[in-house]
Amino acid sequence: YGKMLTGKFIVVLSTSEGDITVEIDADAAPKTATNFIVLAQSGYYDQLTFHRVIPGFMIQGGDPNGNGTGGNSVYGETFEDETDDANALMAIGYKAGVIAMANRGPDTNGSQFFIMDANYDLPPNYTIFGHVTAGQKVVNAIARVEKSSNDMPVEPVTFSVEVR
């Protein structure tokens, strides 16, 4: 994918439980923010689900397979982490409301992301690229829906993403 975005973007995740407004920071994590914004604008995330929800930790979504096994980036299959000191958001850590990329190990970012339900001490292996500005109560509600043994909601929690 070509040009990296800069600046800040407001996106609204319209979920089956309510709206979550997130500020995406392309200055802190340009490659990650560009991936998320371009996927969102293309409709990639429309009607996907939060397939993994853990109260006191996070809600995870963005997999077209709906189970944590899929999701490509705009750069092809995966792209590298932006977890070094160049990303000022990494210093904040994984606090409630932070949005970060989910991955399967170093430099395996695709389309999956998670939003923190609460402050949680994670190793700095997941690129932080923004934070919730409104609707954290919705994040909290999604984290607490009835779920099966694999942390998947019994009733699918769907969402779409609109870039404002």
Domain 8-163 of CATH type 2.40.100.10: yes
Q: Quick one: pLDDT at residue 26?
A: 98
pLDDT of 140:
99
Helix (H, G, I), strand (E, B) or coil at 69: coil
Please tell me the distance from the alpha carbon of residue 109 to that of residue 35, in angstroms, as a whole number: 10
User: Which pLDDT value is given to residue 163?
Assistant: 98
Residue with the two structure tokens 């932080």: 128
CB burial of residue 76 (10 Å; 0-12, 13-18, 19+) = exposed
**For every one of its 164 residues, what pLDDT tens digit does the chain have, with 9 covering 90 and above?**
789 999 999 999 999 999 999 999 999 999 999 999 999 999 999 999 999 999 999 999 999 999 999 999 999 989 999 999 999 999 999 999 999 999 999 999 999 999 999 999 999 999 999 999 999 999 999 999 999 999 999 999 999 999 99
Domain boundaries, the chain: 8-163
* pLDDT at 2 (0 to 100): 80
Kindly give the pairing relationship between strand 8-15 and strand 128-134.
unpaired
